[in-house]
Amino acid sequence: MVGVRGGLLVAGTSSDAGKSVVVAGVCRWLARQGVRVAPFKAQNMSNNSAVTPDGGEIGRAQAMQAAACGLEPSVRFNPVLLKPGADNSSQVVVLGRPAGQVGALSYRDRRAALADVVLSTLDELRAEFDVVVCEGAGSPAEINLRAGDIANLGLARAAGLPVLVVGDIDRGGVLAHLFGTLAILDPADQAHLAAFAINKFRGDPALLAPGLTRLTELTGRPVLGVLPWHPDLWLEAEDSLSYTADGVIGRPAPPVGEQWLRVAVVRLPRISNATDVEALACEPGVSVRFVTEPSRLADADLVVLPGTKATVDDLRWLRSQGLADAITSHVRAGRPLLAICGGYQMLAGTIVDGVESGAGEVHGLGLLDLTVTFATAKTLARPSGTAFGEPVSGYEIHHGQVTRRGSVPPLVDTADGPEGALSGAVAATHWHGLLDNDPFRRALLRWAAAHAGRHRFRPAEDTDATATRQAQLDLLGDLVAEHLDTDALTSLIDHGVPAGLPTLTVSPGEDPGGGPAARSR
């Protein structure tokens, strides 16, 4: 396949149907064959983002998919990123750089110009790589949003891409979801929908086989395979919607020492970069759980206050839920708190925000003697330094700038000066990805266990967060190779949209039982 300028669009019947992981799996499968492959998501809506080597910002899922390809993340892999900061507005990031705020209606006026950016970027990638595997956004069946679409069938038609639709059987009704996704599309869009795949199947595939045969008979599209549910596939969720409230993260292994360390992560309404805490969940004896109400903090050893796209609004939510008082009581009892980015900003005595919320000066939690002032320019960086005596690196994505009012010891020492705070039972930082540094994470866990009185907890000395993520990517590649019809998949990638795909027509008012109401022409 080397030398082929092929492409594929992986769409889903809904958000979190498995598009991101299927794209990553296909990319890994191709890369292991020596194919020069790149990921692409025209438009992503997520607060879970990463910083590229040149200081741009993209969806974290595309950074994960780049790793599956053996590539550094690039702004070209996700040219348009929407970061929701409120229910009715989002920050627009174009080719890695902030480009203003939009609402649902005002965004329509920008899509034509953004479509040009998307298509020209995709053209560049297809000229450079053998294969580009594209990920759709949401569902292609959202026909209310079809006009001006630049991420699903609009992209497929403009770029001549075949579409593989993935359905999540764990949600139930997957055969109807796949059939309905095709049936609701207009004929020109249907012509690009070439095949289906099932995701997260548990049980005997033989029980599903008659349904898949019937789906192919009704639609004229093959089902390329059934990907099984696998307990090890929990890292790098596409966005925070994948994290349920009060849910355990990962599959905690038994402790190395004699005690567990219980970690409660506050599930903020506008949480960002929730994947920061996944490295903690890789550790044996560390139980990490998202929480949304105060009683869940009562028996927590370590509380984590994570990043947010709306610091002031989520601080207001903390207070309304009683969580602010619970966090303050936790710290004043000498028990440890880790705060990241927006969570760090909440700990200040004063927050001055004329950018995100427009609230002006508000009182923070007052746990650190700091002032945070929001700047119009966003800080995007991949810094390095030393923390707990260990070399560390991470990435920064924030508008808030910290001014130290008193003598607040830093968490990280850098060539550019102090970063974060390490004061009593509080550790705080603007850096995302800091917990991915294995020696630092072990030191932090020892620090947290000491403050929590968990003296018989001992961190493992061999947990490797990066290797764990790479192993997941290998597993995804294995699942694609073992459970999808890779010959048919290769044909789609090499030869594009198959000719002669039937059009499904559904006529209202006629027999819905398989007669004229559901037929091909």
Give catalytic residue positions: 341, 432
* The 131-135 sheet, strands edge to edge: 37-40, 131-135, 6-12, 163-168, 193-201, 223-228
Distance CA 216, CA 194 (A): 11
Cα Rg of the chain, angstroms: 24
Distance CA 230, CA 236 (A): 14
Q: Are 444 and 455 in contact (CB under 8 A)?
A: no
Please name which of 128, 115, 133 lies closest in space to residue 40, comparing C-alpha atoms: 133
The single-letter DSSP state of residue 240 is: G
Distance CA 175, CA 207 (A): 13
The answer for residues whose C-beta is within 8 angstroms of residue 345's C-beta and 6 or more apart is: 311, 351, 364, 372, 398, 400, 402
What SS3 class is residue 131?
Answer: strand
Tokens matching residue 284: 């044996």
Dump the DSSP string for 473-519: HHHHHHHHHHHB-HHHHHHHHHH-SPTTPPPEE--TTS-TTSSTTSE
Please name which of 27, 59, 165, 460 lies closest in space to residue 285, comparing C-alpha atoms: 460
Dump the DSSP string for 48-111: -EEE-TTS-EEEHHHHHHHHHHT----GGG-SEEEEEEETTEEEEEETTEEEEEE-TTGGGGGH
Long-range interactions of 452-455: CB distance < 8 A, separation 24+: 452/261, 452/301, 452/302, 452/335, 452/336, 454/259, 454/260, 454/261, 454/301, 455/259
Distance CA 345, CA 328 (A): 14
- State phi, psi for 153 to the nearest 5 degrees: -65, -25
CA angle 427, 331, 440 (to 5 degrees): 25
Distance CA 53, CA 66 (A): 13
Report the length, in residues, of the chain: 521
